[in-house]
């Protein structure tokens, strides 16, 4: 999903399918917060202990896996109230 850039699509289409959902509720809330305000990602990462420590390989604690288009697609979906998509 990450390499093929289908994470946003799979998140949206599988959200209402229970055990097939990509994210649990906590992770979905974190993703929604990020997508609604990606400029505030450093604060979000810091609050969730995902900031790389000095000397770490960049992305050791949290990798950027979504391209801008995916973030925008997810943001629009969150703003719309996470409607079921078939």
What are 51-84's pLDDT values in tens digits? 877 877 767 666 678 888 999 999 999 999 999 8
Structural domain contains residue 60? yes
Check pLDDT > 80 for residue 16.
yes
Q: DSSP secondary-structure letter at 60?
A: S
What is the value of pTM for the model shown? 0.78
Structural domain contains residue 22? yes
pLDDT of residue 35: 94
Structural domain contains residue 84? no
- Overall domain count for the chain: 1
Q: How far is CA 65 from the centre of its chain?
A: 8
Structural domain contains residue 58? yes
Question: H-type helices in 37-85, by residue range?
Answer: 41-47, 68-79
Structural domain contains residue 20? yes
Question: What range does the domain containing 73 cover?
Answer: 7-79
Structural domain contains residue 48? yes
């Amino acid at each position: 999903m990450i390499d093929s850039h289908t994470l946003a699509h799979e998140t949206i289409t599988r959200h209402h399918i229970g055990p097939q959902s990509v994210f649990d509720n906590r992770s979905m809330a974190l993703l929604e917060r990020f997508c609604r305000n990606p400029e505030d990602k450093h604060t979000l990462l810091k609050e969730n202990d995902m900031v790389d420590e000095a000397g770490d390989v960049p992305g050791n604690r949290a990798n950027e896996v979504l391209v801008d288009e995916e973030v925008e697609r997810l943001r629009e979906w969150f703003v719309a109230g996470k409607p079921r998509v078939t």
